[in-house]
Amino acid sequence: MTRSADPSIVLGIDPGYDRVGWAVGKVDAIYTVKLLEYGLIQTQKADDIFTRYTQIQSELSDILEKHAPSSAGLETLFFSKNTKTALRVSEARGVIIAELLQHACSVHEYNPVQVKQAVTGYGQADKAAVEKMVRLQLHIAQQNVMDDTMDALAIVLTHSTQRKLEKRLL
């Protein structure tokens, strides 16, 4: 049973089939993000791909039930030379999107340049600059955070910024 979505709660997801980074934030009236929780869905390489997709779906469902976000930002898939990997990530994105829609969560996609622009102000920023700004804006200490989770945190900030821009245009 899905709880009613909270319009101030947003979810950021960095999709994959090996690892799915995720972050949940509460956006206040001035579009400042208060981080609620973040983490990583890690699947086992030894498991078959459908078991991995099932794990992603199940763990994402738990996150959605717990936090009841109204919207989610999702990183778009960038072109990959490894066709098999790109296909698996695309399939995982489909599982993720279906689960978001099942929980009445609106889905918004952002490409890496949009994320870098929103977080650092420069669309060609490197990973170190993005991580530094994410840590500063979300008050995350220097503890170890996996790249996939850091990307999800950046997507939460991007989604919040985009919502603010959309509000200004109304």
Contacts with 58 (C-beta within 8 Å, 6 or more apart), sequence order: none
Catalytic residue among 14, 59, 99, 151: 14
> Is residue 166 among the annotated active site residues?
no
> Is residue 14 among the annotated active site residues?
yes
User: What is the maximum span of the chain, computed from C-alpha positions, in angstroms?
Assistant: 50
Of the candidates 69, 61, 56, the one whose C-alpha atom is nearest the C-alpha of residue 16 is 56
- Strands of 33-42's sheet, edge to edge? 33-42, 19-27, 6-14, 69-75, 106-110
Q: How many CB atoms lie within 10 A of CB 37?
A: 12
Catalytic residue among 59, 99, 131, 148: 148
Q: What are the φ and ψ backbone dihedral angles of 13, each rounded to 5 degrees?
A: -135, 130
> Is residue 18 among the annotated active site residues?
no
Catalytic residue among 59, 75, 99, 151: 75
**Rounded alpha-carbon distances, angstroms, from residue 121 to 12, 45, 117, 161, 167:** 19, 37, 4, 11, 19
Rounded CA separation 81/42 (Å): 23
Catalytic machinery residues: 14, 75, 148
